[in-house]
C-alpha cells in the first residue's frame, strides 16, 4: 500500500514569528509547530511569549521564546544572532507584529501615526534587514508579511492603519522582485477583521455598554456575517510557508470573508 504524501510539512525548518505571544501570531506558531517546524516566538510580552512556548512544548512541539522589540535594531540583532547560533539558519520569517489605531486623518495624532509606522512598517524593515543576509547566504528563504485588506481598499476611520499596511504590501512586492533570482520568496496575507483578544479589549474599552451590538456590527462588515478566526489566517500562513507554495512570490493573499467581492 502506497501511503499518501503529507502536504504542508515544515519538518526540519526553522521559523521566526514576530508578535507570536498572542492572537494570530500565536496560532501561526502553534500550527507551524504541529507541522514540524522549530518555532521561535518573538515578542515584547515575555509572560505571554513564555506561556505560548510552554503550550507548544506541552504538545511535543519545538518552540522557544525570544524577547524582541521589532522597532529597535539593538533588540532585533541579539535575537536573530541567538536563533542563528542555535539553529544555524532561519528558513521562514513571519513579520506578524502589528498594532492598530481608529481615526481619520484629522483624528490621528502625530505620535499615534509615528507609533503605527514604527511597529507596522519599520518593524518589517528592521526584521527583514536582520534576517535576509543569512537567507541570501544559503540562497533560500521564505518571508511572509502580515498586511491587511486595508492595504487593498480604504477602510473608514483607519487612515494611519491603511497607510501602514499599504506600505507592507509594497515592501512585500519590492523584496520579492529584488531577490527573486536569489532563492528568496516574499508574500503577504491580507485579512479582514479577525476575532482576536485585541477586538475584545477594544470593545470593552470603547463600548463597555454596547459591546455586543458593536461586535455584531463589526462582524456584519464581512458578507459572510462573521469575523475570521486566527486559525484560518494561520492555515493560510502554513500554506505560504510550505514547499507547496513555491510558485508564489510577490503575491497578496486576501482572507476577507467576501469583503472584496464588490
Q: Name beta bridge partners: 145.
A: 95, 188
Q: Which of 7, 161, 179, 239 is catalytic?
A: 161
* Residue 161 annotated as catalytic: yes
Q: Residue 122's closest CA among 114, 111, 110, 112?
A: 114
Return the axis-axis angle of helices 123-138 and 73-87, rounded to nearest 10°: 30
Cell of 164: 501602514
Name every residue whose Cβ is closer than 8 Å to that of residue 97 and which is 6 or more positions away in sequence.
Answer: 18, 19, 25, 42, 43, 70, 119, 123
First to last CA, the chain: 48
Q: Which residues are catalytic?
A: 161
Amino acid at each position: 500500500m502506497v501511503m499518501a504524501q503529507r502536504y504542508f510539512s515544515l519538518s526540519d525548518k526553522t521559523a521566526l514569528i514576530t508578535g507570536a505571544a498572542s492572537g494570530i501570531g500565536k496560532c501561526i506558531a502553534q500550527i507551524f509547530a504541529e507541522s514540524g517546524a522549530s518555532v521561535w516566538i518573538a515578542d515584547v510580552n515575555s509572560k505571554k511569549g513564555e506561556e505560548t512556548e510552554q503550550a507548544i512544548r506541552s504538545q511535543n512541539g519545538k518552540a522557544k521564546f525570544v524577547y524582541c522589540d521589532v522597532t529597535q535594531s539593538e533588540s532585533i540583532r541579539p535575537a536573530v544572532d541567538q536563533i542563528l547560533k542555535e539553529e544555524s539558519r532561519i528558513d521562514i520569517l513571519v513579520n506578524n507584529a502589528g498594532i492598530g489605531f481608529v481615526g481619520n486623518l484629522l483624528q490621528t495624532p502625530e505620535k499615534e501615526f509615528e507609533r503605527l509606522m514604527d511597529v507596522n512598517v519599520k518593524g518589517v524593515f528592521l526584521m527583514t534587514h536582520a534576517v535576509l543576509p543569512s537567507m541570501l547566504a544559503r540562497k533560500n528563504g521564505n518571508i511572509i508579511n502580515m498586511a491587511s485588506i486595508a492595504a487593498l481598499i480604504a477602510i473608514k476611520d483607519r487612515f494611519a492603519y491603511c497607510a501602514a499596511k499599504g506600505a507592507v504590501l509594497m515592501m512585500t512586492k519590492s523584496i520579492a522582485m529584488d531577490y527573486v533570482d536569489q532563492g528568496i520568496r516574499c508574500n503577504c496575507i491580507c485579512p479582514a477583521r479577525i476575532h482576536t483578544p485585541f477586538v475584545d479589549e477594544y470593545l470593552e474599552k470603547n463600548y463597555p455598554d454596547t459591546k455586543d451590538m458593536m461586535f455584531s456590527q463589526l462582524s456584519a462588515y464581512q458578507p459572510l456575517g462573521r469575523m475570521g478566526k486566527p486559525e484560518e489566517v494561520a492555515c493560510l500562513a502554513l500554506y505560504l510557508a510550505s514547499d507547496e507554495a513555491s510558485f508564489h512570490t510577490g503575491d497578496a493573499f486576501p482572507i476577507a470573508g467576501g469583503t472584496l467581492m464588490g
